[in-house]
Chains A and B, each alone.
Chain A
Amino acid sequence: MTRHPLAKSLLIGLALFCVASNFAFAEKELRFCLRTEPKNFNPLQTSNEAEETIRYLTGGVLVRVNRQNQELEPELAESWKISSDGRQISFKLRTGVNFSDGTAFSAADVAYTMQQLMDPALHSPTGDAFRSGSGTVTAKVLSPDHVTITFPAPVAGLERLFDQVAILSSQSPKKEGAVLGPFYVADYKAGASVLLKRNANYWKKDSQGRQLPYLDAIHLDIQPNRDIELLHFRRGELDLINSLDSEYFDRLAAVSPTLVHDAGPSLDAEEMWFNEVARAPIPGYKRIWFRSTNFRRAIAQSINYEDLSRVVFKGHAQPAAGPVSPANKFWFNEKLKPYAYDPESALKLLAQDGFHLQNGVLQDKDGNSVEFSIITNAGNSYRERMAVLIQQDLQKIGIKVSVATLDFPSLIERITQSFNYDAAILGLTNVDLDPNGQMNVWLSSSENHQWNPSEKSPETAWEAEIDRLMRAQASAIDPPKRKESFDRVQAIVMEQAPFIYLVNKNALSAVSASVQGALPVILRPQTYWNADRLTLSTGAR
């Protein structure tokens, strides 16, 4: 062996080099799942969760809502100013920033992006959020790092809306392929996966001056089946599950408690409402019930919300106290409390409208037995179970409820077109903290005013009051004034109960031990909001 010491040391050196390079150059690839398929990669047209995930990871934005402390932070814009009338915002941009393909970033790109976004033919939720009034939106480039955007009418919560706008390049031949975010879309296998690779031109550096992101790639599997997602996670093939179901949470927690995170109540609520549409093909006497505030309040008092949270969500939810979750610290009206479970009080309230119990069956003043059906979407086991628990609760006050689960398109047809239903249970997913995003739910003339869409004029005094208050908060610039108006809206909603809010679900997630730097929060995206600072410890897989 010592006859060729040079060869031997070369061999050892080569071996050491191979070992070292395996550790040093091992691709740090984060893996998790998308539950739906992205239909397009245009960040201005995101309409489902998968597209929003890709936009978050690849898009560069002017300002960013810090998902942890809910404050607004500068990103591509170093500073910004909103005019006193709320119609104009001017940004001072960061200089020396390039897109992923090397094209320079300047104010012209911001102007171009806004022009594309506000194109009336686009019809995207992101763009529509800026549409405060009719008229065109103009963007003026004052200098390569200074841009002003003017809107026809004041936009409430204007600066926070820019968290959703990913800036496109006006010059790059790659169009939306050139990005400013920490990653770019490298590969897409339809139905199977999306591969994001590290953007070498990302402008952000950490406090030591090292360029972000730390990860080399993110691999997104398209996997709608949650059982298989959990299986892959347990096997170590996935690094995180962004939103975990409560029964999987408990199962994982039993085996590996350090991997699961319950960040507390999220912004999401589950709600039930009655069909109050005048032209609905339901019997007249049912319409009278559903349009009576006493009836709705009585139902709200007959549901055991604690049981819903405890039994259906295994304690990972809490009774809701209105349209805003307490997790929304600024906008939640602290004076509101969830409805207390009080069947006796409910029966008293019903008696005011002439309802009475006859042989254990509740009847209205004309002798009709109180029976109605609840529809919800199939495949969501939480809603199915909540409906069954509510069915049982209402049976105690003599109401017969039938539960029907429908496929989603049939459900949507019933609640938006044919109005052939009695009551429905669905959930509200809030991406935004600002209630202005829910404007179309509260305006009586809107299509999304679920219990009675597209009213020509408000059919009740309280709906007229809500219309007035929502318009007031939209045109006010001062946050405390806006909060005052919206607090009142929340109070009216709880009083009149057009929606019966059931629970606020907790934000549950799972992160594997090999991921470093993850801080699960309640705002979406819960686990990878700081993707540019996440890293993987090699060898721990």
Chain B
Amino acid sequence: MLAIRIARHLLSIAAIVLLGAFLSAVLVRSAPGFDTDEEQLDPRLSAASVSALRESHRQEHGLFRFYLSYLGHSLRGDLGVSRSLGQPVRGLLRDRVPATFRVVVTGLALGWLLALALGLTAALARTTAYDHATLIASGIFLCLPAAALALLSVLLNSPGYLGIALIVFPKVFRYMRNLLAKAYSLPHICTARAKGLSELRILGFHVLPVVAPELLALAGVSVSVAVGAAIPIETLCGIAGVGQLAWQAAIGRDLPLLVNITVLVTLVTLSANLGADVIGHILRSEGA
């Protein structure tokens, strides 16, 4: 039953988010450099100031206490204060989520568009030369470092989203192409062709439905890939989004900010995959 399935998913999402928040706090706290602050190297600071700086980090030492207080506060809407930027986390996220949302969604859409264009035309054309050409083209973008892609997207005046699109498209394309190729080799395609069905009809009714579950899973995973790509792309392009914030938080070992960003990323990842699962279930039950 769809309703029970969704309820179960939501419960597991909550559990995973809570666990993720805790584990990320553990990771940040255990990594070396947690107690440090770049400012303490300033020779003008007196000894009292340096020890005051160190003291300010001590309050986050007790991990369980921090986590429980964080949970308590967040239930009331207070997500804590960022240590490296000195501002409330809620305000920071509210200001930056729209920018990242725009960049990631546009990048994902463009990446999928490119992948579908190449993948479907390769499936329809079915010539070896075109197949190889598309694979090499996607290979080129796979090999370009994020810095080069970011620079390219700035040069072409499409900051951010082009970079993310070019990171997402080769990976999506490669999986899609392999899945389609496998589907085309199944025996029922031969039968369909023998019956005289057009290529487009075969693609739409006999190939895509076969690979739909994997493509949906791929869609869910591509969201993770895009969100992960947002961090270097936003930082390199100078876009004021959550990705850039995440990088600054990582460098500053900003525990409150990092825990909140992990929660956000976990929610997005889980929702994307839940969405893919639900659509897959609907399609399967319709098909059956």
Contact = CB atoms under 8 A, between A and B. Distances in A.
A221 B235 CA distance: 14
Interface in B13-70: 31-50, 52-53
A47 B39 contact: yes
Given A407-B251, A409-B33, A228 B46 contact: no
Interface string B246-283: 00100111000000000000000000000000000000
Interface stretch (B183-191, B198-206, B219-227, B236-244): B236-244
A391 interface: no
B86 A191 contact: no
B154 A416 contact: no
Interface in A144-194: 189-192
A440 B45 contact: yes
B81 to A, nearest CB: 12
Contact of B44 (A414, A437, A447): A437
B181 interface: no
30 contacts: A39-B85, A123-B52, A124-B49, A125-B39, A125-B42, A126-B44, A128-B49, A190-B95, A191-B240, A191-B245, A222-B238, A225-B235, A227-B147, A228-B236, A228-B238, A407-B251, A409-B38, A409-B252, A410-B32, A412-B38, A413-B32, A413-B35, A414-B32, A416-B40, A417-B35, A438-B43, A439-B43, A440-B44, A440-B45, A448-B45
B50 A191 contact: no
A191 B40 CA distance: 24
Interface in B68-99: 84-87, 92, 95-96
A431 to B, nearest CB: 8
Nearest to A126: B44
Interface size, B (range): 35 or more
A47 B147 CA distance: 29
A102 interface: no
Going nearest first, the 3 A-B pairs with the smallest beta carbon separation are A409-B33, A191-B240, A125-B44
Nearest to B250: A407
B36 to A, nearest CB: 4
Contact of A40 (B43, B52, B86): B86
A224 interface: yes
A332 to B, nearest CB: 18
A156 B46 CA distance: 15
Interface residues of A, number: 44
Contacts of B251: 407-409
A446 B47 contact: yes
B86 to A, nearest CB: 5
B155 interface: yes
Nearest to B84: A39
A191 B96 contact: yes
Given A37-B85, A189-B240, A227-B151, A410 B43 contact: no
B36 A409 contact: yes
Contact of A409 (B42, B48, B53, B253): B253
A223 B159 CA distance: 13
A225 B150 CA distance: 11
A230 B37 CA distance: 29
Contacts of B38: 408-409, 412
A510 B151 CA distance: 21
A123 B56 CA distance: 12
A92 B221 CA distance: 69
A221 B239 CA distance: 11
B44 A221 contact: no
B48 A120 contact: yes
Residue of B33, B53, B244 with most chain A CB atoms under a 10 A cut-off: B33
Interface string B150-188: 110011000000000000000000000000000000000
A197 interface: no
A469 B154 CA distance: 54
A129 interface: yes
Contact of B33 (A223, A227, A410, A439): A410
A129 B238 contact: no
Given A225-B238, A408-B38, A448-B43, A37 B248 contact: yes
A279 B151 CA distance: 47
Nearest to A445: B47
Contacts of B31: 410
Interface string A217-246: 000011111011001000000000000000
Contacts of B39: 47-48, 125
A412 B40 CA distance: 9
B43 A437 contact: yes
A311 interface: no
Interface in B111-162: 147, 150-151, 154-155
A409 B34 contact: yes
B238 A221 contact: yes
A441 interface: yes
Nearest to B244: A191
A224 B234 CA distance: 11
B237 A225 contact: yes
A125 B45 contact: yes
B175 to A, nearest CB: 31
Contact of A224 (B32, B92, B154, B238): B238
B95 A413 contact: no
Given A225-B237, A409-B38, A416-B40, 18 more contacts: A123-B52, A123-B53, A125-B39, A131-B46, A189-B240, A190-B92, A190-B240, A221-B238, A225-B235, A409-B33, A411-B33, A412-B37, A412-B40, A416-B36, A417-B36, A440-B45, A440-B46, A448-B50
Interface string A393-413: 000000000000001111111
A456 to B, nearest CB: 13
Contacts of B245: 191
A437 to B, nearest CB: 5
Contact of A123 (B34, B45, B235): B45
Contacts of A446: 47
Nearest to B245: A191
Nearest to A414: B32
A223 B238 contact: yes
A129 B252 CA distance: 25
Interface string A94-132: 000000000000000000000000001001111011010
